[in-house]
Every structure is written in C-alpha cells, then in structure tokens.
C-alpha cells in the first residue's frame, strides 16, 4: 500500500475557495485577510493535516508589491489625475506603480501585455486607446489580475478583467448641449479618427447631415492640434458657430488660437471639450467640458486589481460605469448662465 499523498497549500486553497496568497496570509498572520476567512482556513488546515513547507510556500506566492499602469500619454492633462489616483490607492496597500506610456499605439499596447513577466508586477491597470484585435486574448492570458479603464469600446463579456468606464457616451452630452444653446453649424476637432472613435460617432449621430468641411482630424490630442484646427476653421468660407473638441487640450488650443485671430468665444464660436481637466477653469474664457470622472475611475480600477491580487479571485469580474457630467462654462454660454451643471 502506497504512502498517503502529502497535503499541499494548493489543496488547502482549493478546499477553502481562496487563492494560495490568502492561505499564506492566514499562516503568517499577515494583514489583508478577514478574521472569518482566516478562521475558516485554519480549520481546514487542521482537518486536512496540512504542514506548511516554508521555503516552497514563499517561492509559490512570491509577490513584487508592484502594479503596472499603462496609459496612452502622460502629457494629456487628464492622465495625471488618473495616474495620481492609481498611485494613491496602490500606496495604501503597500504597492508601487510602474508607469508605461503606450502613446495610444496598437503595437505598444500589445507589447505591454506580452512583456508583463519582464515588468515583474503583480497586476496591471491599462487604459487602451488603439484596442488592437489581439488585446482581449492577451488580457485573458495575462496570468495576473488586469483592470481596464475603458472610455470608448464595448468589450466582450468573456474578457477576464475588471472594466471601469462610463455609463453614457460623453460626446453625446457635448452635442446635446451645443444644439440646446442654439448652435446649428457645429464642427468637430479630433485626433485621428480611429482614436476614441466613439467621440466622433457621437458627433455624427447627433446631426442629420455631416458637412465634411466641418470635420478636422489632427495628429493627436494636444494643444497644438487645437491651434491647427482653429487655423483650419478660420480659413473656411463659412466658419462654424460651435466646435466640439475631442478633449480639453484640443479645446484649449482652439480658444487660444482664436483669441490671436480675433474670433470671440462664445459670441462668434462656442467651444466645448471632454475630460474636465484643471486647465479648463484657468483659461479665458473658462471652457465647457464633460467630466469623465478620471480620479474616481483610476482609484476604483486600482482597488479592483489590488483586491484581486490579495484574494487570488479569478471569477466574477466587475463591470462598473460612472455617470459623466457636463460642466457648463463661459466658452458656450453667456457668463451669467455658466455656473450651473447640466446632468
């Protein structure tokens, strides 16, 4: 008759319905585990006759206490809000953040996922922009917890990641507002069409007919793209009476250049953006924008990843949506009307 099979930490974790790291915490009396879970695990250890092998156990559950944050471009004014919130959440759990800029480039987004092992991190928060076809497959094979900050795509129900995004299309709020304040010749100033394309679709869907001459696609999401867009619209035979900018940096660039050209905002042209970054409130005029809840989204995305690292849970992925808010300011309405919020 053969020897009885030795009980392993994996056996205990399976019986308890938790991850190996959680069993280790119970054994080492570490933080990050509830009293109820710890009691349950200790009872199972006694019942199964498990004897911990300290060296094998530490190898098995070794963690780096680091998570990665992959964002499109740290120079975009909304990204620091997100990055700060992710870092603060990580610090509270004793983790550091490794930051990666993907530049919204499909190849770099895929490389980030392909090279996760080289990064030596326990989890990943990623904010994709290009959404290459292989992205979802690589997330599902990542081998570590992943949270997706999602502002522009409908993602598969099969995606093995927590997803934090918006409940409503933020671009639609901008268009509804510009139409509501009586603007009829509305232009769109964006980055390349394939980047956050849902923001352009909101423009298209809000109008019965799109005049191609009122659409400007720049190279990126920058202040300079906004200035170039303003030059383009200024030299049209018939200028627009409103511009929906893909983000606040583009909107600020437009307002800045119009000021130099002698175009009055909002009297001649109303301008609105998306992100509600700090700079919208220090420009003259202050700029109407949609808050995409960057700080809240970043914090929750990090909390979900950190919670999953600690519990080793690989099921019941979260799908959380925040409600975007339109903040009406001087760039679209008269000053006396610009202090309220439209929901």
pLDDT digits (tens, 9 = 90+) for 203-244: 999 998 999 999 999 998 999 999 999 999 999 999 999 999
- The hierarchical CATH code for the domain 9-60 is 1.10.260.40
Query: Cα–Cα distance between 113 and 124 in angstroms, integer?
Result: 9
In this prediction, residue 33 carries a pLDDT of 77
In this prediction, residue 122 carries a pLDDT of 93
pLDDT at 54 exceeding the cut of 60:
no
In this prediction, residue 343 carries a pLDDT of 39
Per-residue pLDDT reduced to its tens digit, 154-172: 888 889 999 999 988 899 9
In this prediction, residue 290 carries a pLDDT of 97
Q: What does the radius of gyration of the chain's CA atoms come to, in whole angstroms?
A: 25
Of 266, 189, 274, the closest CA to residue 258 belongs to 266
Query: Cα–Cα distance between 337 and 249 in angstroms, integer?
Result: 23
Residue 306: pLDDT band by 50, 70, 90 thresholds?
very high
Q: What is the mean pLDDT of residues 3-21?
A: 80
Q: What is the mean pLDDT of residues 57-62?
A: 46
Residue 177: pLDDT band by 50, 70, 90 thresholds?
very high
In this prediction, residue 335 carries a pLDDT of 54
The structural architecture, per CATH, of the domain 170-291+326-342 is 3-Layer(aba) Sandwich (3.40)
Residue 4: pLDDT band by 50, 70, 90 thresholds?
low
All structural domains of the chain with their residue ranges: 9-60, 66-168+293-323, 170-291+326-342
Residue 2: pLDDT band by 50, 70, 90 thresholds?
very low
pLDDT mean across residues, the chain: 88
Of 78, 128, 122, 119, the closest CA to residue 101 belongs to 128
C-alpha distances in Å from residue 193, one per residue of 130, 198, 230, 279, 297: 11, 9, 18, 25, 24
Which DSSP symbol is given to 76? S
Comparing 1-10, 44-53, 152-161, 208-217, the range with the smallest average pLDDT is 1-10
In this prediction, residue 342 carries a pLDDT of 46
Residue 117: pLDDT band by 50, 70, 90 thresholds?
confident
Q: What is the mean pLDDT of residues 254-283?
A: 96
Q: How far apart are the first and last CA of the chain?
A: 73
pLDDT at 3 exceeding the cut of 70:
no
Q: Is 132 exposed, middle or buried (0-12, 13-18, 19+ CB in 10 A)?
A: middle
The yes-or-no answer to whether 9-60 and 170-291+326-342 have a common fold is no
The label of the residue with tokens 């990064």 reads 119
Query: Cα–Cα distance between 27 and 56 in angstroms, integer?
Result: 14
Residue 73: pLDDT band by 50, 70, 90 thresholds?
confident
Task: Report the share of the chain in percent with pLDDT over 70.
Answer: 90
- Please give the residue that has the higher pLDDT: either 236 or 47: 236
Residue 1: pLDDT band by 50, 70, 90 thresholds?
very low
Q: Which CATH number fits domain 66-168+293-323: 3.40.980.10, 3.20.20.140, 1.10.510.10, 3.40.50.2300?
A: 3.40.50.2300
In this prediction, residue 191 carries a pLDDT of 87
Query: Cα–Cα distance between 280 and 307 in angstroms, integer?
Result: 34
pLDDT at 340 exceeding the cut of 70:
no
pLDDT at 336 exceeding the cut of 70:
no
Q: What is the mean pLDDT of residues 297-323?
A: 89
b/e sequence 23-60, b meaning 16+ C-beta within 10 Å: bbbbbeeeeebeeebbebbeebbeeeebebeeeebeee
């Amino acid at each position: 008759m053969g020897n009885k099979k030795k009980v392993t930490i994996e056996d205990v974790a399976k019986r308890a319905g938790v991850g190996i790291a959680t069993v280790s915490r119970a054994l080492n009396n570490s933080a990050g585990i509830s009293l109820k879970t710890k009691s349950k695990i200790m009872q199972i250890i006694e019942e199964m006759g498990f004897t911990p092998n300290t060296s094998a156990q530490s190898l098995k559950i070794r963690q780096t206490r680091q998570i990665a944050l992959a964002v499109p471009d740290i120079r975009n004014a909304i990204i620091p809000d997100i990055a700060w919130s992710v870092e603060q959440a990580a610090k509270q759990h004793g983790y550091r953040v490794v930051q990666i800029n993907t530049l919204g480039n499909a190849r770099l987004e895929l490389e980030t996922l392909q090279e996760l092992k080289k990064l030596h991190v326990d989890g990943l928060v990623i904010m994709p922009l290009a959404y290459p076809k292989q992205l979802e497959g690589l997330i599902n094979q990542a081998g570590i917890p992943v949270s997706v900050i999602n502002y522009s795509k409908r993602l598969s129900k099969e995606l093995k990641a927590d997803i934090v995004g918006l409940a409503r299309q933020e671009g639609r709020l901008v268009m509804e507002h510009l139409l509501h304040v009586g603007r009829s010749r509305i232009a769109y100033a964006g980055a390349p069409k394939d980047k956050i394309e849902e923001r352009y679709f909101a423009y298209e869907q809000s109008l019965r007919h799109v005049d191609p001459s009122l659409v400007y696609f720049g190279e990126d999401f920058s202040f300079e793209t906004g200035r170039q867009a303003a030059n383009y619209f200024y030299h049209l035979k018939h200028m627009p009476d409103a511009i929906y900018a893909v983000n606040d940096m583009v909107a600020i660039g437009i307002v800045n250049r119009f000021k130099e050209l002698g175009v009055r905002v909002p009297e001649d042209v109303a301008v609105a953006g998306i992100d509600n970054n700090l700079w919208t409130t220090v420009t003259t005029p202050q700029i109407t924008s949609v808050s995409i809840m960057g700080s809240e989204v970043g914090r929750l995305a990090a909390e979900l990843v950190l919670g999953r690292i600690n519990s080793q849970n690989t099921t019941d992925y979260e799908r959380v949506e925040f409600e975007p808010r339109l903040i009406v300011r001087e760039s679209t309405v008269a000053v006396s009307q610009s202090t309220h919020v439209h929901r």
